[in-house]
Chains A and B, each alone.
Chain A
Amino acid sequence: MSRSIISQPCPHLLLRGARVVDPGAGIDQTLDVLIEDGVIKQVAPQIPAPDNFEMINAAGLVLTPGWFDLHVHFREPGREDEETVLTGCAAALAGGFTGVCPMPNTSPATDKAEIVKSIIAQSRQTMVDVHPIAAATKGREGKEPTEIAELVDAGAVAFSDDGCSVRTAELVRRVMEYAGMYQKPLIEHAEDESLCLKGAMNEGVIATKLGLSGLPTIAEDIIVARDVLIAEYTGGRLHIAHISSKGAIELVRRAKAAGVQVTCEVTPHHFSLSHEAVIGFETNTKMNPPLRSPADVEAVIAGLQDGTIDAIATDHAPHSSEEKNVEYPAAPFGVIGLETAMGLIISRLVLTKKLSLSQAVAKVTVAPRRILNLPPAEIKAGQTANLTVFSIEKKWVVDKTKFYSKSRNTPFDGWQLAGKVFGVYHKGQWWASPDF
């Protein structure tokens, strides 16, 4: 049973004394933020509290633009037992996210305008902005492109056959050209399926020890190489989802240096865990792309540091415990991530000084919106207030029984993390986390 979000309308609010970090505006200082009718009226040191305004003391807390996750799976339509748009939005908000992009590998696939509209309509009753990503090909079958123009009109912000790669180079080219007319990227799940038959984990030393079939890094690298070349040729926009291999990161690095319009994202599990976590056959370590070698994890960190990796996205992939509570090769790929992302980003990247707080925040605020051509959520007067407030110091222990998501498939249960959501302001409403 998942938990419910209880937010309250709060048109007039003074958030006092927070460390305001807005990487887009280059702000990192202690400020007050005054909100009137859901719009930021003033950002300044020590604003006097007007009458009839709620006031929240945010001293010691960090205030950033609302976090944005450009890669989630909400399972609606088709598998509402695992997650719905509403429970997914609750999990997003509990994790500090005010915007999310559900992937189209639902059942049926999100390949028609009506499905895009229905997902957006579902989300209107929540505090979270939902921007669906539509399938690149009809039924995600890799045969014909979807009706891209119609899907854009319905609200799709990008195109992807996530769960697998767009099957042929020809289709990648056509989708990139067509979606390019609307400045929408192709988001590619980079995996050459012919190299991955029956694979259950990263191919390498641990797979050899465990006797599990491998998913080799070259399967990822080959598709990234193919698509980068097509993006260069067509001038289209390519975004690589959940990048995980050292080779793929290097390919993106070189392509960016050559001026190709390519961006990429990484998940918190790919910078927090290596394939060594699979020892013991815990199925919550089974994801696609798989947890890679320690050398790949190092490359991910380096890619985050030098900007090769633009964004952090959770690839929140809910699965029922019945599906995950099986022998390793039989378990589905994927783990949930919306409610642990902030803790992992702060604990594994910021507190370890691998990234500055501003760099880390940029990866979940400025970068994903820019990749999708969405307007930024800036902290300045005149902007709609879209804010995440959190502590980077508060320690907490991940307890999967307390998740707002319908599913519980996390490899981080029991981990002690720092970095906890205090509250979220969006759509004129304030939600205060009851777990802070």
Chain B
Amino acid sequence: MIVSKHLLGLAGVRREEISLILQTAQFFKEVLSRPIPKVPTLRGKTVVNLFFENSTRTRISFELAEKRLSADSVSFSASGSSVAKGETLLDTVRNLEAMKIDMIVIRHHASGAPHFLATMIDAGVINAGDGRHEHPTQALLDMMTLLDKFGTLEGLKVAIIGDVAHSRVARSNIHGLRAMGAKVALCGPATLLPRAPREAFGNDIEIFTNVDDAIRWADALNVLRLQLERQASGLLPSIREYANYFGVTRRRLEAAKRDVVIMHPGPINRGVELESDLADSEFSVILDQVTNGVAVRMAVLYLKSGGDLEVANGAA
């Protein structure tokens, strides 16, 4: 079933593989609820977490997943470009590989950086976010959270709201959700929507530039973090205007379906893309996402290192 040892993105990944990862994640979520939330599954395997961009929750989530699977793991953080540091990404990773590692989890500011590595080295490569391209484990944990809530993704209407153009979370979600039979809408100011989204992702994608329309349409809202520097680059007139016209608020939610859920990949700009009160409200599944993140990353690390679900169940 798992055909590649890498997880570079969700584009082109089939429904069966996503289902297997999500089922395996459910199993590991159960493991996480045990008194000793740890299995020996990746004992003897070495994973390197290579973070070229600041990250707290994704890095800790991966590190925890690795520890829960009993892998040996080390983490490397470098802010800014590897090139700016004077060493190329390729040299950095070749050095690490010479230390006989099995997998690399990489976050990098350049779209395609994990793909570049995957062509150069033997270790498995897991994309923990590349530029504005993909963030597959985030989308998988989003889907797991939606499955927990709705029981199925088939026909579910998910509106991705905010800076879609620059969002790797949005791209992975679009691919994953569509593969699983969900309907996807993109909503944001025209300056933050990608060019030719229907040609890129599918003619069935809904596009909204009015957030009230998106909220009325959706079963679930995936609210993206607004990079505040978008204003400085001329893509937004002001943060205040963005909050007023595109922020998700309790008043706006009055038009929503009664059981609508709100997701957010974090960290939240409270009061900008999401009203502070809503982030902690009955609609929010944001902390469920964080919990599911560890389980999903355990599943990905396990399956991509050659494991299968039956053996995992047996080992339990």
Contact = CB atoms under 8 A, between A and B. Distances in A.
A212 interface: yes
B195 interface: yes
Q: How large is the interface on A (under 10, 10 to 19, 20 to 34, 35 or more residues)?
A: 20 to 34
Contacts of B108: 327
B81 A203 contact: no
Interface string B139-157: 0000000000000000000
Given A210-B133, A211-B133, A329 B196 contact: no
A212 B111 CA distance: 6
Given A209-B11, A211-B111, A211-B171, A326 B88 contact: yes
Given A281-B116, A330-B83, A208 B194 contact: yes
Interface residues of B, number: 28
A199 to B, nearest CB: 12
Contact of A327 (B112, B199, B200, B201): B112
A205 B116 CA distance: 21
Interface string A129-166: 00000000000000000000000000000000000000
B92 to A, nearest CB: 11
Interface string B252-284: 000000000000000000000000000000000
A210 B201 CA distance: 11
A183 B200 CA distance: 47
B195 A329 contact: no
Interface string A186-220: 00000000000000100111111111111000000
Contact of A328 (B112, B134, B199): B112
Contacts of B307: none
Contacts of B197: 208
Contacts, number: 71
Interface string B154-197: 00000000000000100100000000000000000000001111
B90 interface: yes
Q: In the complex, which of the residues B108, B110, B195 has the most CB atoms of chain A within 10 Å of its own CB atom?
A: B110
B83 A211 contact: no
A280 interface: yes
Contacts of A211: 111, 130-134, 168, 171
Given A205-B199, A211-B133, A211-B134, A329 B111 contact: yes
A435 interface: no
A293 B81 CA distance: 30
Contacts of B133: 210-212
B112 A326 contact: no
Contacts of A325: 88, 90
A51 interface: no
Contacts of B109: 329
A116 B157 CA distance: 64
Nearest to B167: A211
B104 interface: no
B83 A214 contact: no
Contacts of B110: 327-330
A170 interface: no
B195 A203 contact: yes
B89 interface: yes
A293 to B, nearest CB: 10
B113 interface: yes
A311 to B, nearest CB: 31
Q: In the complex, which of the residues A208, A325, A326 has the most CB atoms of chain B within 10 Å of its own CB atom?
A: A208
A204 B112 contact: no
B200 A330 contact: no
A205 B112 contact: no
Contacts of B88: 322, 325-326
Contacts of A327: 89, 108, 110, 112-113, 116
A205 B115 contact: no
A329 B112 CA distance: 8
A328 B11 contact: no
10 contacts: A208-B200, A209-B201, A211-B133, A281-B111, A281-B116, A325-B90, A326-B90, A328-B111, A329-B110, A329-B112
